[in-house]
Amino acid sequence: MLKQELSLKLQQKLSPQQIQLMKLVQLPTIAFEQRIKQEMEENPALEEGNELNDEFSENEDWENDEYNDDNTIDTSDINIDEYLSDDEIPNYKTYTNNYSDDDEERAIPYAQGISFLDYLENQLSMYRLDEEEFQIASFIIGNMDDDGYIRRDLQAIVDDLAFTQNIYTDKNEVENLLVNYIQKLDPVGVGARDLQECLKVQLENKSPQTESSELALDLITKSFESFTKKHYKRLMLKHDVTEEQLKEAISEIEKLNPKPGKSFAGNTKEVEHITPDFTIRIVEGELELTLNGRNVPELRVSNAYAEMLDTYKHTEKKSTEQKEAVLFVKQKLDAAKWFIEAVTQRRNTLMYTMQSIMEFQEEYFLTGDETKIKPMILKDIADRIGMDISTVSRVANSKYVNTPYGTFLIKDLFSESLTNEDGEEVSTREIKRILQDVIAEEDKKKPLTDEKLTEILKEKGYPIARRTIAKYREQLNIPVARLRKEI
């Protein structure tokens, strides 16, 4: 049986220009600069420059034609002025910011120092090792992570030496080189296979030895699990020491470095140069927003390519090869125009969105007080600027803002809200800040449990469930009460 139905579907399709714009909006500053360089390399009709062409009238209205897949081109439809007039677009439309020589902002250079592994190998050469022992020890060092640990199984290292270096050894020799040579290198503690061994090596190499350091070594060697769980009474009974003696021994352990690899001053692995996309300054009591565009060139459509169309238009006899060539030229010119407009729209979208965020959180940006951060979700900003939530998300998720109080991700300003006892909406960031302050002021001999923290915040006017307190505490990387205990 045949059945006929009439259905109506509403579909929204993004144009190539819109897709291109969304991709550009999502890019942070450095990636955006690279994208512009890539586009200029791929499209010869797009070039850097700001020269004006006075032969053509100013026209700021973009009327992009759809790509013509047919090889026939109607020359009457080609308006050369439409391409060449792009050069007369005011600079502020394609260039994000103008900078003078006395601007405060400067890129911070990072010196390239010796690597951590090279530093260890240089020390290794001071030992009297034969060539094969040195190669094995060097290979072991190469398996060290950024914290200075050897987390691989030693047998796996033995196997790798055989397969990759054609060096045949055994686990005992590898362990001997590790314990008696590598673990003696500076910083002390490198080459440990776990935290217990790392602390143990440092205590064994401590000079001069004291009663406290000897007790500390005993605790790490014989009672590491009880120590990590802070079972202090059990430790005092097992080691027959007073509370004061235990406290001094723990103080010795706290002075040790649990990640000796991080202490190397020349270790540049962790250096991360963040380039802020926005800068917010306070100028005479008012907030001033700028978009980072120091390395973004001014763009224009190539005169040479546009003139090719002009030449073709005035040619009487047009060959098939000429038609194919001019089709290619027109496509490149259209793509250049689209890209220039997308760059301009990206700037406007970023500035418009960040301006709204700045105004929404004006009190925070003027004071730096995190308790002044208002509850703010993506929809709040999207409604204010009349854009889609996804657009605001693209701006916030990967962009950094430089403020008088530090540089941070814009998305960190967004937070849900809770209602206090007075019926006022407060940011979850404010509640986390209060929670941090309460825990910082607690008696470390009797840390506050999540139940007690719940009661305290309720007394302060924030009726929050215990499981929510536990969730916020974990997000703040604060351990449970038992692990915060001190003697």
Q: Is the pLDDT of residue 53 over 50?
A: no
Q: Is the pLDDT of residue 332 over 90?
A: no
From CA 151, how far away is CA 144, in angstroms rounded? Answer: 7
* Higher-scoring residue by pLDDT: 199, 267: 199
Q: What was the pLDDT predicted at 355?
A: 95
- Please state the length of the chain: 487
Q: What is the pTM of this model?
A: 0.53
Q: What was the pLDDT predicted at 368?
A: 86
pLDDT class for 165, splitting at 50, 70, 90? confident
Q: What was the pLDDT predicted at 67?
A: 32
Question: How many Cα neighbours within 13 Å face the side chain of 205?
Answer: 19
CB 312 within 8 A of CB 75: yes
Q: What was the pLDDT predicted at 357?
A: 94
Q: What was the pLDDT predicted at 147?
A: 87
Q: What was the pLDDT predicted at 15?
A: 64
Average pLDDT across the chain, whole number: 78
Q: What is the pLDDT of residues 426-454, one digit of tens each?
A: 667 778 888 888 888 888 888 888 888 88
Contacts of residues 308-311 at CB distance under 8 Å and 24 or more positions apart, as own/partner, are 309/78, 309/80, 309/83, 309/333, 310/80
Query: Residue 337 has which token pair?
Result: 């125009």
Average pLDDT over residues 317-346: 82
Q: Is the pLDDT of residue 74 over 70?
A: no
Q: What was the pLDDT predicted at 76?
A: 42
Q: What is the pLDDT of residues 234-250, one digit of tens each?
A: 989 998 889 899 888 88
Q: What was the pLDDT predicted at 94?
A: 42
Q: What was the pLDDT predicted at 418?
A: 66
CB 420 within 8 A of CB 461: yes
Neighbours of 456 (CB within 10 A): 16
DSSP string, 344-375: HHHHHHHHHHHHHHHHHTHHHHHH--GGGPPP
SS (H, E, C) 95-140: CCCCCCCCCCCCCCCCCCCCCHHHHHHHHHCCCCCCHHHHHHHHHH
Query: Residue 341 has which token pair?
Result: 């407009």
Q: Is the pLDDT of residue 289 over 60?
A: yes
Q: What was the pLDDT predicted at 24?
A: 85
Average pLDDT over residues 461-475: 83
From CA 156, how far away is CA 162, in angstroms rounded? Answer: 10
Amino acid at 55: E
Q: What was the pLDDT predicted at 366?
A: 92
Q: Is the pLDDT of residue 311 over 80?
A: no
Q: What is the pLDDT of residues 337-395, one digit of tens each?
A: 889 888 889 999 999 999 999 999 999 899 888 778 888 888 889 999 998 888 898 88
* Gap between the terminal Cα atoms of the chain: 84
